[in-house]
Amino acid sequence: MKLICIGRNYTDHIKELENEKPTDPVVFLKPDTAILLKKQPFFIPDFSDDVHHEVEILVKINKVGKHIQKKFASKYYDQIGLGIDFTARDLQRQLKEKGLPWEKAKAFDGAAVIGDWLDKTRFPDVDNLNFSLRKNETLVQQGNTSHMLWKIDEIIEYVSKYFTLKIGDIIFTGTPAGVGKVVANDKLVGCIENTQMFSITVK
């Protein structure tokens, strides 16, 4: 399985990193080895002094598809989750400056937190979901999927032009503003609406 990630999908986050607003979605992949194992702490890798949390709504693909049209996209997932796209921001900055791929900064072991899954039928509208991240009980990130530049169905249409989507693939849909550094002993708790989706400790 693969993790397909969308970058720069919320205007407020684009501004905070002083990035340009993209004309197409920014897409990158993480391998399955990036998934943080359940109940394990996240270990800050020794090659970075500036690992950031990026809380993101996740979508789990339940059907094989290629060139999926937006109007059919909702048939390709029935579960919504929440996760963290951990990013070694210092390394990513160096790679960006040189125009190099981001994998070393984003696809390292443990860099993908995947929380619990919820049936999408539980929500009246997946394009109007509130989600949040608390760090040591302080609210640090808060988003609503209505603020995505590319909504879930549009993301599925776009990425399936390039990659065949397979059962179990997971899409990370981008992060809202409030990304920030994690340090040892931080506790990160993510919620969709009022439901806790994950809780992890940083080491």
Task: Give me the residues that bind Zn ion (CB under 5 A), please.
Answer: 54, 85, 175
Contact between 192 and 57 (Cβ < 8 Å): yes
- Closest approach, Cβ 127 to Zn ion, in A, equals 19
- Which CB, 54 or 157, lies closer to Zn ion? 54
Measure the CA–CA gap between 90 and 103, rounded to whole angstroms: 13
Contact between 143 and 10 (Cβ < 8 Å): yes
Select the residue whose beta carbon is closest to Zn ion and give its number.
85
- Which CB, 160 or 173, lies closer to Zn ion? 173
- Closest approach, Cβ 64 to Zn ion, in A, equals 25
- Which CB, 85 or 157, lies closer to Zn ion? 85
Q: In 10 A of CB 28, how many CB atoms? A: 17
- Closest approach, Cβ 42 to Zn ion, in A, equals 15
- Closest approach, Cβ 54 to Zn ion, in A, equals 4
- Which CB, 54 or 169, lies closer to Zn ion? 54
Measure the CA–CA gap between 24 and 62, rounded to whole angstroms: 25
- Give the side-chain half-sphere CA count within 13 A for 147: 18
Site of tokens 């708790």: 189
